[in-house]
Structure 1
Amino acid sequence: MEWKGRRQSDNVEDRRGDATRGGFGRNPFGRNGGFSFPSGGGVGRRGGGLSIGTIIFLVVIYLIFKAMGIDLMQVLDGGMTGGSGYEQSQSESTSTPADDEMTAFMRTVLAETEDTWQGIFQAQGRDYEEPTLVLFADATQSACGFASAATGPFYCPGDHKVYLDTAFFQELERKFGASGDFAEAYVVAHEVGHHVQNLLGILPKFNQARQRMSEAEANKMSVRVELQADCFAGIWGKYTEQKGMLDAGDLEEALNAAQQIGDDTLQKRSQGYVVPESFNHGTSDQRMRWFKRGFDSGQLAACDTFSGPL
């Protein structure tokens, strides 16, 4: 992806290394919470492993000690650290060159989404409100509640912000086999797609409607919401192609990422079988098809996931 030297957005809030941004609130994935990019952790698990309550308790204990300046992982590992290349100790005040390049990349991708959606909204006589991209490490607080790296990237309608722990990209490559800068850009474009849905009134209607839905019904509707965000990400991809920004293989990177994070693929990888009624993002085939539909058409009208079969 030819991104260097292009405009960078000012709408990026970098909270990495900022211990004061943490906190404890309601889960961002409650019935009125955020819209996440799946991280693949525990999807559709039945039995075995740690309970959700236990995991939350352990995370809380870990964060309390970390706020006190004690890194339990370093204690357990005898002072050796693993983690991602983008994570920093809260005592560090300087960023690494990798962090600087990642920040520049994120600012550039966000700027390209701004240009794309500004143009589309303007053509429809609408104003596009630009979202803020929050970069964090380990955990942070949003208007939708407390978020940790385990939740994966997500969009919060309450504050119009996209939240992203950049270490997720290493997980995307190492755990899911989805590498490449355009695959990473697809993740951001998908979450910005949720912001577009919010501005168009789609998310408010969904949040209101799912209060009256069963869990199974809400999951089915959530799939349609997520696939539309994939289609909107495809529209953004079309505009980047028209600008001559895509390299050979970039489209395949995004499609591979869409395939790797499909509900069926994630469940097969984590537990060896699938539970279709628990799907809430769409299958690998659906995610690839809807991204490609947006990419091929470049039109909002092509992204109506709420009418007819998926």
Structure 2
Amino acid sequence: MRWRGREQSDNIEDRRGSRGGFRSGPGFRIPVGRRGGGGIGIGGLIVIGIICFMLGINPLTLLSGGDIGFEDGAGTRQQGQVSGRDDEMRAFVATVLRETETTWTRIFQQNGGQYQEPRLVLFSGRVDSACGLASAATGPFYCPGDRKVYLDTNFFQQLSGQLGASGDFAEAYVIAHEVGHHVQNLIGVLPRFNQMRQSMSEADANRMSVRVELQADCFAGVWGKYTDQKGILEHGDLEEALNAAQQIGDDTLQKRSQGYVVPDSFNHGTSAQRVKWFRTGFTTGNMQACDTFSPSYQQL
């Protein structure tokens, strides 16, 4: 991925070295390596109407700690220390975030809307958010309460070392997925979930949370398509993202952690589903193709 020398976003809060306090509230995260399950972490205005109609459900069962992102076992760096590698990682994250900003601003404008940029918080050890206290083990997550993406970049070491998903575009996919949840928040998907979740059974919430996560994967793919059109991607980058999607599927993670799978506990999607929906977004570059809520949605 040719990211060096490109414009960087100013929407970065670097809280590495600070310590957070406790608060309660829901958020969204993406699980990586949990035993039985995980959290959750415009042209679509037509799709959104369909989505909002179909939603009657809430995937935020995963909210019991709160967010949408990747989770499980990222290491904690020493507080107050920022290395040269950390500085480079900050530059990388700020560059990827900027690319998401330009992409989604363009897409929203094309459909008569205005994109509101999220802020991205870099943290180490633990962090306080409107969705509650999160530790490095929580992994990257999006908090709809404050419209911020939270990231301990040590997670990327876990992604590469423990999960076998290396490469800068694999890391960019993680960021783009969380930004995808922000897009869902802006277009009304996440607020609807929050409204409906109280009446959902755990099984229904899990099934619908899969659809939420797969849509965020598809939105990440849409961003990837626009990025590729700019000539930023290099040979092998798409494969890095698809491999990352493969490695964080619920079935793959459960097989790795416990040797067997519990399909009823899936709330992010199987490896095949995650690969399929990222590829769908990347191939089409169209938000309308990311309707994981319609009756025609196909489980793999």
Tell me the CA shift for residue 39 of structure 1. 2.9
The reply to whether residue 285 of structure 1 matches residue 275 of structure 2 is: no
In 1: Cα distance, 2:236 partner to 2:120 partner? 26
Query: Contact 1:37–1:187 at 8 Å: present in 2 too?
Result: no
Higher relative contact order (CA 8 A, sep 6+): 2
Q: In structure 2, which of residues 177, 185, 189 is the aligned counterpart of residue 202 of structure 1? A: 189
Q: In structure 1, which of residues 15, 28, 41 is the aligned counterpart of residue 34 of structure 2? A: 41
Given the superposition, is the C-alpha separation of residues 24 and 42 from structure 1 closer, same or farther in structure 2, using an over 3 Å criterion? farther
Please show how residues 172-183 of structure 1 align to structure 2 within 5 Å: 172-183=159-170
The percentage of aligned residue pairs carrying the same residue is 69
Q: In structure 2, which of residues 55, 75, 79 is the aligned counterpart of residue 89 of structure 1? A: 79
Bigger radius of gyration, 1 or 2? 1
In 1: Cα distance, 2:33 partner to 2:187 partner? 29
* Matched residue type, 1:300: M
Query: Contact 1:8–1:104 at 8 Å: present in 2 too?
Result: yes
In 1: Cα distance, 2:280 partner to 2:228 partner? 14
Query: Contact 1:39–1:151 at 8 Å: present in 2 too?
Result: no
Please show how residues 1-310 of structure 1 align to structure 2 within 5 Å: 1-19=1-19, 22-26=20-24, 33-44=26-37, 87-90=77-80, 92=81, 95-307=82-294, 308=296, 309-310=298-299
In 2: Cα distance, 1:299 partner to 1:34 partner? 26
Query: Contact 2:214–2:268 at 8 Å: present in 1 too?
Result: yes
* Matched residue type, 2:32: S
Length-normalised TM-score, structure 1: 0.82
Query: Contact 1:231–1:294 at 8 Å: present in 2 too?
Result: yes
In 2: Cα distance, 1:164 partner to 1:39 partner? 14
Query: 3-state DSSP class of the match of 2:274?
Result: helix
Residues 146-175 of structure 1 show CA distances to partners (whole Å, capped at 9, x for unaligned) of: 101111111000000001110000000111
Tell me the CA shift for residue 40 of structure 1. 1.6
Tell me the CA shift for residue 37 of structure 1. 1.9
Tell me the CA shift for residue 35 of structure 1. 1.4
Tell me the CA shift for residue 41 of structure 1. 3.3
Query: 3-state DSSP class of the match of 2:115?
Result: coil
Gaps of 5+ in 2: 39-64, 66-73
Query: Contact 1:236–1:298 at 8 Å: present in 2 too?
Result: yes
Query: 3-state DSSP class of the match of 2:252?
Result: helix
* Matched residue type, 1:208: Q
Query: 3-state DSSP class of the match of 2:127?
Result: strand
Residues 20-67 of structure 1 show CA distances to partners (whole Å, capped at 9, x for unaligned) of: xx11222x6xxxx2111213233449xxxxxxxxxx9xxxxxxxxxxx
Query: Contact 1:238–1:298 at 8 Å: present in 2 too?
Result: yes
Segments of 4+ in structure 1 off by > 2 A?
41-45, 86-90
RMSD over aligned CA atoms reads 1.5
Gaps of 5+ in 1: 46-55, 57-82
Residues 176-225 of structure 1 show CA distances to partners (whole Å, capped at 9, x for unaligned) of: 00000000000000000000000000111112122110001000000000
Query: 3-state DSSP class of the match of 1:162?
Result: strand
Query: Contact 1:134–1:162 at 8 Å: present in 2 too?
Result: yes
